[in-house]
Amino acid sequence: MTLTNCNVISLIVCAGTFGGLVNFAQARTKESTWRDGCWSVVIGLGAAFLIPLFLNTISSSLLAGLLNGTAGSADPFVFFGFCLLGAISSKSMIQSLSQKVLRLAEETKRDVKNLKDEVKPIIDKETEPDQHKSNESAFRVEAYGLTGDDASKVIKALGDSKYSRRTVQGISKDANIAEGTVIETLRWLQQNGLATTTGGPRHYWSLTDKGRSAFAEISSLRN
């Protein structure tokens, strides 16, 4: 069975109007007027027109089936029932759906941010550093208040690896530095904007843009 957009809209309007009247009849008092009934119908129509969005949030294919012809003979009645139920419980339905959509939007925003954080080290690793950036020489770690070559070794271990994100154990092995020293150096690099971590429960480390510039300088000086 296939329905057109006009057929679907007609079902929504009928269900919204009828549901609004049912909602009004349930809440009607002696003081209720015809204007109250009209407002109930308006709210019912609004709730009914939100049913397609509701079906989408629960990943239902009911509406899509009605429009593309894959729906069963009873599906139009099921869709009408959804719209009618939404209209009858219009206030709570609108409120709960609004909260769910906002929550999904926040979750999507958070997932996109996490995905960017996951992909950024890979992109940075494959991007040639800009040699003309106005960074101070990150290779000269004494300028940051740290002496010795531990920072350079850790930066090299991060930059030379085939992995875009590295564990403390892996860095320690490649740099031939004790894990405690690696952790201390990584924290120092993070404080100075040269490295970043994914955080708990397990820390993975990678170089920032500034860190990659430092790595490029270290590599060029050692070649």
Digit-by-digit pLDDT tens for the chain (223 residues) are 678 889 899 999 999 999 989 888 888 888 888 888 898 899 999 999 988 888 888 888 888 888 888 888 888 899 999 999 888 888 887 878 778 778 877 887 877 776 766 666 666 655 555 555 444 444 454 444 455 678 888 888 888 888 878 888 988 888 888 888 888 888 888 888 888 888 766 788 888 878 887 787 777 765 5
Q: Is-contact 195 206, C-beta < 8 A? A: yes
DSSP string of 81-93, one letter each residue: HHHHHHHHTHHHH
For residue 139, the 8-state DSSP code is T
Alpha helices per DSSP H over the chain: 5-27, 34-49, 51-57, 62-68, 75-88, 90-126, 150-160, 168-175, 179-191, 209-222
How much is the pTM?
0.48
pLDDT of residue 10: 93
72/61 Cα distance (integer angstroms): 12
The pLDDT of residue 141: 46
The amino acid sitting at 172 is: S
> 73-92 in b/e burial notation, b at 16+ Cβ within 10 A?
eebbeebbebbbbbbbebee
Q: Which residues contact 32 (CB under 8 A, 6 or more apart)?
A: 24
Instruction: Give me the CATH code for the 133-222 domain, please.
Output: 1.10.10.10
Alpha-carbon span 218 to 223, nearest angstrom:
9
CATH 1.10.10.10, the chain: domain bounds: 133-222
